[in-house]
Amino acid sequence: MSAAGEARAPDVESYFNDLARAVDNALVAGERHATWFSAEDSDFVRMNRGKVRQPGTVSQRFIDIRLIRGARHASHSLSLSGDLHSDSRAIGAAVAGLRDVLPQLADDPHLLLPTTVASSRTTRGATLPPTEAIVARMLDAAAGLDLVGLAAAGPVYRGFANSDGQRNWHVVTTFNLQWSLYHRADKAVKASYSDVAWSDAALDERMRASIEQFRLISAPPKALRPGKYRAYLAPAAMQEIVELLAWGGFSARGLETQQSALSRMRVDARLDPRVQIVEDYAAGVAPPFQAEGFARPGSVPLVVDGRLSGALVSPRTAREFALEANGANGAESPEALSIGGGTVATHDALAALDTGLAVGNLWYLNYSDRPACRMTGMTRFATFWVEGGKVVAPVDVLRFDDTLFRMLGDNLEALTTERELLLSSSTYGSRMLTSATLPGALMSELNFTL
């Protein structure tokens, strides 16, 4: 493996531009195209029992070509070899195949394409230390402990081109470290560190915190009866709630068809006035453009002072419901969601909790009542019972079941001042450019059912 942030962007960008020209050259009169490019050069390291078990590097490039004639369109996705001559021939064959398909298709009444050319070029992230050094520092800090984890690092690329001459390029170099310190049975501590800029001190601090929690989970666990308890949710636990909301919660289509879990916010439901939720593209890692070539604004306000103020509007939804597209992806799911911070310092969160549950992680979340935005899920790993602002004992696994309108509404006491940038750890097919910037949340009560 090489340095995770090794600069390959200029070469990949040039290759993308050559591919775009190949698509342009394959068109005949009356045809248009919209082409999406995605690629990565990523180091991956899997660890178990405090040792490296599976290191490797993945370099992959993909292109999705949409051929358009009038209101008819069809797409073809290609996995690229990296050899321009071979890839150009494959592009020509793909376009010819799409040309044969188009006459068999009906006009698409919801097709919406940009009417202006909005080219752009962005880069984020600096050169990272070699992945070997990152992993060695992790393992040295957890020496003698059963560390299980994954490290992923390197540049990820996105590009867009169309037949009008628009060219958009985005490259971001990130790292994402996920690890658990395993104790026994279901007792473990989960932690993470992800960003676009590396800091030895930040990793050391997170490792120290996870080791301290690991020492705490060795104590006999406290069993709690089902009921309502004061609770503090750390940013990682909040991330699970946000990711469930991403399933159509902020979707304009979902709101227009009343399938969104937040539909009640168009009628009478509100969150606490201190809750501010924004799709903050400028602060995230997602590209400032989407797959149809629409430019994204710096931010899209979604909840202002606890009230629903906006939605993520894809081009198709904009055409169907006479709305204005605002750069959303086809699924209208957030890619850079941000919740504003509050007034309680993170290091004072347990003192503010006083007595109750400190929840580090949640998992297995789903809706138990979508129209009511009622969620259910399990506590995971390091969840602690706190008395007088001090951790007393770890807590056995619990299931919560509560509505967002209680958690971030009636029962919200405070949000932490500090927020954490949490990058998606998904590597299904490729690394994702999705992030959330979240505070911790203190709640006067959270309902636990078993």
Instruction: Express each pLDDT in 343-394 by its tens digit.
Output: 999 999 999 999 999 999 999 999 999 999 999 999 988 899 999 999 999 9
Going by their DSSP bridges, the two strands 187-195 and 412-423 should be labelled as: unpaired
Residues 76, 80, 84, 87: is their CA dihedral positive or negative?
A: negative
Kindly state the tokens that stand for 60: 């992959």
* pLDDT given for residue 10 in this prediction: 66
Q: Which amino acid is at 400?
A: F
Q: What pLDDT is attached to residue 1?
A: 58
> What tokens does 308 get?
């629903």
Instruction: Tell me, rounded to whole angstroms, the distance of Cα 187 from its chain centroid.
Output: 27
Q: Which residues contact 178 (CB under 8 A, 6 or more apart)?
A: 149, 150, 190, 191, 192, 425
CATH class of segment(s) 9-216? alpha beta
SS3 call for 76: strand
Backbone angles phi and psi of 166, in degrees to 5: -70, 135
The DSSP output letter for 395 is B
Pairwise CA distance, residues 281 & 378, whole Å: 30
Q: How far from 17 is each of 78, 157, 386, 437, CA to CA, in Å?
A: 16, 13, 57, 33
Q: Per residue in 288-303, pLDDT tens?
A: 999 999 999 999 999 9
260, 251 Cβ separation under 8 angstroms: yes
pLDDT digits (tens, 9 = 90+) for 129-177: 999 999 999 999 999 999 999 999 999 999 999 999 999 999 999 999 9
Residues found in the chain: 450
If phi over 0 gives left and psi between -120 and 50 gives alpha, with beta otherwise, what is residue 322?
A: left
* Extents of the domains making up the chain: 9-216, 227-448
How much is the pLDDT for 139? Answer: 95
Say what the alpha-carbon torsion angle 201, 239, 409, 259 is, to the nearest 10 degrees. Answer: 160
Count the alpha carbons within 13 Å of 91 in the hemisphere toward its beta carbon: 29
pLDDT tens for each residue of the chain, 450 residues long: 544 444 455 699 999 999 999 999 999 999 999 999 999 999 999 999 999 999 999 999 999 999 999 999 999 999 999 999 999 999 999 999 999 999 999 999 999 999 999 999 999 988 899 999 999 999 999 999 999 999 999 999 999 999 999 999 999 999 999 999 998 877 889 999 999 999 999 999 999 999 999 999 888 889 899 999 999 999 999 999 999 999 999 999 999 999 999 999 999 999 999 999 999 999 999 999 999 999 999 999 999 999 999 999 999 999 999 999 999 999 999 999 999 999 999 999 999 999 999 999 999 999 999 999 999 999 988 899 999 999 999 999 999 999 999 999 999 999 999 999 999 998 888 999 999 999 999 999 999 998
Task: Tell me, letter by letter, the H, E, C secondary structure of 199-214.
Answer: CHHHHHHHHHHHHHHH
**Distance between CA 176 and CA 194 in Å, rounded?**
4
Query: Could you give the count of Cα atoms lying within 13 Å of 419 in the half-sphere of its Cβ?
Result: 20
